[in-house]
Structures are given as structure tokens and as C-alpha cells.
Amino acid sequence: MVTARIVAAFVALLLVAAACSPETEPDPEIEDEDGAIDGEAEGPPGDDPGPEEDDEDPDDDDPSDDPEDEEAQLDELIERLTSEVGELRELEWEDEVETEVVSGDELAEIATDRDLDAGDRDELADWSRVLASLRHIPEGGDLEEIYDELQASGVAGLYDPEDEVAYVGSEELPPGPSATVTTAHELVHALQDQHFDLERLDDLEDDDAVLAFLSVVEGDAVLIEEEWQARHLSEEEQGEAQREELEAVGEVQEVLAELPEYVVESFLFPYTAGERFVAALREQGGFAAVNEALEDPPTTTLEILDPDRYLEGFEPEEVDPGQAPGDDWEPLVDGSFGAFELLVLFGEVEDTQAPAAWPWWRGGAIEAWEQDGELVVAAGWWLDDAEEAPLVVCDAVPSWYAQVANADEPSEREVASGELTLEGDRDAFALACEDQLVRFALAPDAETAERALGR
């Protein structure tokens, strides 16, 4: 729902290599080639061999501490990774990629300093108000602060399409297994950029299209990252990477646990749904199908959630969600209201079929106006012509509002009429259901909400 420009401002964050999936578990016991448990010396039970004798002069310098040697090892690693990633992805490198390994603090600074200009920040503030009206974030919540918090704590690495530089966070040189996996992920983005121009994300004007394109980009990188790890890391290195990643994810999850669910779902969607989407394309058409999706990406999150829609050439319906409730109301923001929004909006609604309603999505939009500091929001979806689709969603929307705004549940007769109003804790709600179109408005009072729906 955040406009294309704002979503594109999150590219640096959303192009990070996800440390690991929530389901990842560390291998507690990984055997080495001799059958010994990782971290334990092989020998008779109870027989402590004691510390090994050190024949070297303690004053001798450790070669691994030599900065020049570390840089040489890093260069060798990057060269090898570049070759292996290109081979796995079945694409040729057109140019050499600049790759920088920086500390976690430096990476956070790079991520938070690059993305938002004054216009972005103003628009982010406007969308903060809209998201708060939808109860996606707390009243008075600031998406800019949330953005900075995510950037500072959740970045493992990033690729900057503008500068064509891949950054990886690591406190050691050469980087350990986990940071090396992240490097492979970011190199996939560099390879994508050389062939498919990732800066096109900045040119997209439709919000849902940005999230859809981003999901292809991330899904492709996640799959290659996983395949590289399975092919090129030993079992011992994979175990070490898992332990490092689990520790990193634990720190990130502490931050995510404090954030609104909508923000977390927006952050994770390109990785989780994107991976499934790209896997489906590869199963049907190999890398040729993935390349086509990067060249001509899906324009809706419905296609990401249901790859068959993309393969069938899905085109969304245009939706007019509402109108300014009066001449004195000024336009604030507008954007698409996709299948992802339908999924997330009803995700916490109890006693309804709505969470499974996203496959019925055929188009959606949202618009907001303001007057003297007050806000009106109108949103709507065009749904599939399946008989139950409009009925389920028309029933679910007022139930959603009643739950999130502490309003009284409407009667079945009110819902069946297709037109109703409700009074919530800090605003009013109006509903309009007609054929395949379901619309609702939030406003300071019921009369204003009805006018926003043209009633």
C-alpha cells in the first residue's frame, strides 16, 4: 500500500540476504570426516589428550593477522564466489562487481543513509497516517522510525543498483560461512542487475507491482543462495553457518517482535512468497522462465501468491475506491490495494473465511483525503465472480473493523443489505457492496464516510 516510491526506498533493506528462514534449526551434532562430533576431539572416553604443544615461537606473527594476506584471501573468495554464482544461475557476468565487506555498524549506516529524500519522508508520513487508520500501525506511528530501526538491525548485506556495489556485513576477514552465504546472495542481485536492470524498480508507479517485482528478485536470490550453500559448503561449514544465522535471526526477531505485524509481513513477503513463486517458475520452465519474469515481471501480488495467474497473463481490473467527501477535502495519497493487502488485512480477523479470500482478488485501490488535520480513507476490491466471493468479503470487512476499532458487530440483516455504517473508537466506518465490488471508507463521522463512498 505504500506508494511505489516509498517501497522502492525500502529496496536496500528488502535486497538484504535473509539470514535464515524462521524454520531453520541448527545441527546440534555435525560429524567430521573421521566421525568425530564437531567441537570434540576423537579419542577413548575419558582420555583427555591435554593441550597440544606449541613448537612455534610465540613472537612469530600469525600470517592470518596480516592485512595484506586477509585482503588477498578476500579477493580470492570473491573471485571464486562470482564464478560459482554465475554457474549456478546460468548467466554470464558482463562486468566485474565491486564487493565490499564492512562492519555491521558501517553496513547499518550505509543502509540508513542512502534511501529517503525529503519527498519520500513527507509521503512516508502521509502513509503513516493511512496505515494507522487501518490499524496496521499504532496511532501516531512513524514509518520513518520503523524503517530506520529495520535498516539498522536487520541488514546482513545489500546490493546498491545505483552504485553497482555489493555490501556484506562481517566483523572478520575473510568472512565466515554465514557472511559468505550472504555474499553469494548479494552477488545474485549484482548478476540480475547486469542482465535485467534492477533500477527499473524506481520507475514503477504501481505499489503492488513494486512488491511483485521485488518478490521475483528476492525469490531468485534466495534459491541460488540455498543451492550454493548446499553445493559449496561442507557439512561442518553449513553447521557453523546455521549457528551464526540463528544467532543473527534471534537478534532480528527481537526487533521484529516489537514491530506491527503489517510491517513484518511486508518485510518478509518478497523472501517467502518470492521463493515459492520462483521455485514454481523453475519447475515449469527452468531459468528461462525466471529470466522472463525478471524481464517482464508480474504486476500484482496475486500473481506471486498464485504463479499460474502470472503464467496465464493475468491483468487486474481498475477500481475506483471512492471520492472526496466534499470540495474542501484535499487529495493526500493513493495507491493499489492488492491481494497482499487483502491477505494481511484479514489475517487477525476471527470467525471468518476472509483470510482465504486473497485468491478472489481481481483488482484493488486505496485513496485518502485530508481537511484541517482530519483524514478520510476509501479502499476497495474487485473480486472474482464466484458466488461466495463478494459475500464472504462483504461480511468480513465490517467484522474486521468491529474487532480492530472496538465497534459493535453488525447484524446479518445490515451486512446483507450491502450498505452499513459503524462507529469505532476513533472514527466511523461505511461499507458498500455491489456485485463484485466491495468498498469501505473510514472518516471522522459516519456521514462523511458515506459521502466518500458516493452515498
For residue 239, pLDDT beyond 70? yes
**How far is the CA of 146 from the CAs of 143, 264, 266, 336, in angstroms?**
5, 10, 12, 22
Q: Is 134:16 a contact under the CB 8 Å cutoff?
A: no
For residue 211, pLDDT beyond 50? yes
Q: Quote the CA–CA distance of 267 and 272 in Å, as a whole number.
A: 10
Name the residue with higher pLDDT: 1 or 436.
436
Q: The sheet that has 361-371: what strands, in order across it?
A: 330-336, 361-371, 374-383, 437-443, 428-434, 419-423
Q: Quote the CA–CA distance of 324 and 331 in Å, as a whole number.
A: 8
Closest CA to 323 of 451, 424, 417: 451
User: What residues have CB less than 8 Å from 192, skipping those under 6 apart?
Assistant: 198, 217, 220, 221, 294
Least-confidence region, from 35-49, 240-254, 288-302: 35-49
420 bridge partner residues: 431
Residue 202 is predicted with a pLDDT of 84
Q: Quote the CA–CA distance of 164 and 200 in Å, as a whole number.
A: 14
Compute, in degrees rounded to 10, the torsion defined by CA atoms 147, 153, 158, 160.
40
For residue 58, pLDDT beyond 70? no
Domain positions in the chain are 4-16+71-308, 330-452
pLDDT in tens, 395-420: 899 999 999 999 998 887 777 787 89
Q: Is 427:404 a contact under the CB 8 Å cutoff?
A: no
Burial class (CB in 10 A: 0-12, 13-18, 19+), 173: middle
For residue 24, pLDDT beyond 50? no
**DSSP character for 100?**
E
Which three cell numbers mark 256?
521484529
Q: Quote the CA–CA distance of 354 and 381 in Å, as a whole number.
A: 13
432 bridge partner residues: 419, 439
Residue 40 is predicted with a pLDDT of 31
Which three cell numbers mark 1?
500500500
Q: Is the backbone of residue 286 left (phi > 0), alpha (psi -120 to 50) or beta? A: left
Task: Band the pLDDT of 86: cuts 50, 70, 90.
Answer: very high
Chain mean pLDDT for the chain: 84
Q: Quote the CA–CA distance of 429 and 398 in Å, as a whole number.
A: 8
Residue 355 is predicted with a pLDDT of 63
Least-confidence region, from 114-118, 170-174, 305-309, 424-428: 114-118
State mean pLDDT over 225-232: 95
Axis crossing angle, helix 235-256 with helix 143-154, rounded to the nearest 10? 160
Residue 261 is predicted with a pLDDT of 86
State mean pLDDT over 102-123: 80
pTM, to two decimals: 0.85
For residue 113, pLDDT beyond 80? no
Helical spans, DSSP H, in 114-260: 118-133, 143-154, 177-196, 207-232, 235-256
Residue 49 is predicted with a pLDDT of 43
Residue 415 is predicted with a pLDDT of 78
Residue 345 is predicted with a pLDDT of 86
For 299-360, strand residue ranges (E) read: 330-336
Least-confidence region, from 118-122, 223-227, 318-322: 118-122
383 bridge partner residues: 361
Residue 305 is predicted with a pLDDT of 97
For residue 66, pLDDT beyond 80? no
Name the residue with higher pLDDT: 214 or 260.
214
Percent share of the chain, pLDDT over 70 = 83
Q: Which residues of 145-169 are buried (b: 16+ CB within 10 A; e: fewer)?
A: ebbbbbbbebbbbbbbbeebbbbbb
Residue 350 is predicted with a pLDDT of 66
pLDDT in tens, 344-386: 888 766 666 566 789 999 999 999 999 999 999 999 999 998 8
For residue 128, pLDDT beyond 90? yes
Residue 16 is predicted with a pLDDT of 36
For residue 103, pLDDT beyond 80? yes
Phi–psi pair at 438, nearest 5 degrees? -120, 120
For residue 321, pLDDT beyond 60? yes
- What angle is formed at CA 366 by the lines to CA 362 and CA 372, rounded to 5 degrees? 170
Q: Strands 98-102 and 437-443, how do they pair? A: unpaired
State mean pLDDT over 47-58: 46
Name the residue with higher pLDDT: 158 or 453.
453
Phi–psi pair at 337, nearest 5 degrees? -135, 85
CATH architecture type of domain 330-452? 2-Layer Sandwich (3.30)
Axis crossing angle, helix 207-232 with helix 235-256, rounded to the nearest 10? 150
Axis crossing angle, helix 207-232 with helix 177-196, rounded to the nearest 10? 130
State mean pLDDT over 111-135: 84
pLDDT in tens, 266-294: 888 999 999 999 999 999 999 999 999 99
Q: Which residues of 320-348 are buried (b: 16+ CB within 10 A; e: fewer)?
A: ebbbbbeeebeebbbbbbbbbbbbbbbee
